[in-house]
Structure 1
């Protein structure tokens, strides 16, 4: 079975943010953006949809994916197919004026899908958003809104890739990448841990036994991964392949492994689609 036959019309969630370990690994922010670019380029070319939960910062990963989606649209034989869905959690969009969201949605028409969610993770129409007061969300709003978005993403994706990830200065109850990885593990959704950039993804790999423990830093929720130590990631890769994926600094090698795993994993029959 070819990669395209497996990935066509599948939804792949990607979780990333800057890693505190990157300077020590000789890596810069550009390296993480390059990795995201390569992941997106390969998966989009094979017919998959990328799903991301981010804000609309000019220099953020969402905008990077939008640029790649626009390029994909020019090259695809089906220009009406949208390659990227970006979820805006309640605490993210409620800080912005509705007119800004209108403009962003208009700018992305035909390129990517922008989905606003209410605090419980239900879809919120832009017209409805105009009836809500813009405000700075409280800490409880951040925690519930982000967690609800992550459950929504789990229910509507077939696999997840994580890389990098901060473990401090995060909003919510635990680091975002950790919570998203935990949801995937709990639902037996195929999970691909790229640990070469360090950060939260590397910590998760160590905590679930893919890599030998090498760090002692603590962050909220880390102990919740203990119960998954030694268990399968349902991602089509062997234990050794997962070890390489979680440790290699070479993006090309990681992508080969991810594509191999996606081909072998039983996408759509477990994880979020049945959660």
Structure 2
């Protein structure tokens, strides 16, 4: 009988972006990047498949995740050819890149990951044309509808979601990205792990759900008012209330990883016996 990792090919989505209030919390962006790296590394080690949707900036989280997966696969069993990551690119993002750029990116991910280009409605398409559109070619509505469509596609492919950080200003879309992804997870009754200790949108959501103290002078961003109507049970993440609250408040990555894995393993065991 072949060995299967505890989270073998379980699709785990990572929701992360820069927080506006990291400095206020005594943190820097490096803390957020380190948290993502450690969480992702442990998910990969347990056999999970990572789902991410983002831009392609040279120093962005997408590139960091690609590098992490590449490094992990190099150190892991060379006979394991299962894709470890799926990256969803909304229409405006991949349309600003050339076909050569995207082909090179896919080639670099061969054997370790998959790159999905989506159209305006969130359907997977082949991006072969040399488009390379200017950022000015897209209206606010183009961005909003395309990002929402991308997040719907992500949710359909996802078992659970981990959310941390997130801008609540200068975002594209109908609400902050972390918020929309959390909203979709809650509505789909998917396990959601909220890490509010790193500030940003995830902290606001955790606060509104009663998991941590209210944030003074926080921004009432679009769509925020709905999260106070969700309860702890709606997170459906396999953790007890005290564990959920600890996860929402901690800035210790090791503690966060242990709690996330505890919840996921409980859910995996329950599914096995159902």
TM-score normalised by structure 2 residue count: 0.91
Q: 1:24: Cα distance to partner?
A: 1.3
Q: Which residue of 1 aligns with 2:220?
A: 218
In 2, Cα distance between equivalents of 1:102 and 1:134? 17
- What are the superposed Cα offsets for residues 18-54 of structure 1, whole Å, 9 maximum, x if unpaired? 1112111221111111111101110001100111101
Q: 1:257: Cα distance to partner?
A: 0.3
Q: Which residue of 2 aligns with 1:134?
A: 133
CA distance 1:33–1:267, shift in 2 (3 Å): farther
Q: Which residue of 2 aligns with 1:262?
A: 264
Q: 1:203: Cα distance to partner?
A: 0.4
In 1, Cα distance between equivalents of 2:215 and 2:43? 31
Q: Which residue of 1 aligns with 2:84?
A: 83
Q: Which residue of 2 aligns with 1:272?
A: none
CA distance 1:5–1:59, shift in 2 (3 Å): same
Q: Which residue of 1 aligns with 2:246?
A: 244
Question: Is the 1:18–1:166 Cα contact (8 Å) retained in structure 2?
Answer: yes
Per the alignment, in what secondary structure is the counterpart of residue 235 of structure 2? coil
In 1, Cα distance between equivalents of 2:174 and 2:65? 26
Per the alignment, in what secondary structure is the counterpart of residue 234 of structure 2? coil
Per the alignment, in what secondary structure is the counterpart of residue 232 of structure 1? helix
Q: Which residue of 1 aligns with 2:149?
A: 148
Quick check: 152-161 or 108-117, which moved more? Answer: 108-117
Q: Which residue of 2 aligns with 1:189?
A: 190
Q: 1:160: Cα distance to partner?
A: 0.1
Quick check: 67-76 or 194-203, which moved more? Answer: 67-76
Per the alignment, in what secondary structure is the counterpart of residue 163 of structure 2? strand
Q: 1:267: Cα distance to partner?
A: 9.2
Question: Is the 1:189–1:234 Cα contact (8 Å) retained in structure 2?
Answer: yes
Q: 1:5: Cα distance to partner?
A: 4.6
CA distance 1:116–1:268, shift in 2 (3 Å): farther
Question: Is the 1:159–1:191 Cα contact (8 Å) retained in structure 2?
Answer: yes
Q: Which residue of 2 aligns with 1:273?
A: none
Q: Which residue of 1 aligns with 2:205?
A: 204
Match runs of 1:47-66 below 5 Å: 47-66=47-66
Question: Is the 1:95–1:134 Cα contact (8 Å) retained in structure 2?
Answer: yes
Q: Which residue of 2 aligns with 1:178?
A: 179
Question: Is the 2:100–2:130 Cα contact (8 Å) retained in structure 1?
Answer: no
Q: Which residue of 1 aligns with 2:126?
A: 125
Q: 1:266: Cα distance to partner?
A: 5.5
- What are the superposed Cα offsets for residues 152-180 of structure 1, whole Å, 9 maximum, x if unpaired? 11000100000011100000110000000
Per the alignment, in what secondary structure is the counterpart of residue 40 of structure 2? helix
Question: Is the 1:16–1:163 Cα contact (8 Å) retained in structure 2?
Answer: yes
In 1, Cα distance between equivalents of 2:23 and 2:157? 35
Q: 1:6: Cα distance to partner?
A: 3.7
Question: Is the 1:158–1:268 Cα contact (8 Å) retained in structure 2?
Answer: no
Per the alignment, in what secondary structure is the counterpart of residue 126 of structure 1? coil
Question: Is the 1:195–1:205 Cα contact (8 Å) retained in structure 2?
Answer: yes
Q: Which residue of 1 aligns with 2:168?
A: 167
In 1, Cα distance between equivalents of 2:60 and 2:215? 30
- Structure 2: where are the runs of 5+ without partners? none
Q: 1:16: Cα distance to partner?
A: 0.5
In 2, Cα distance between equivalents of 1:81 and 1:109? 10
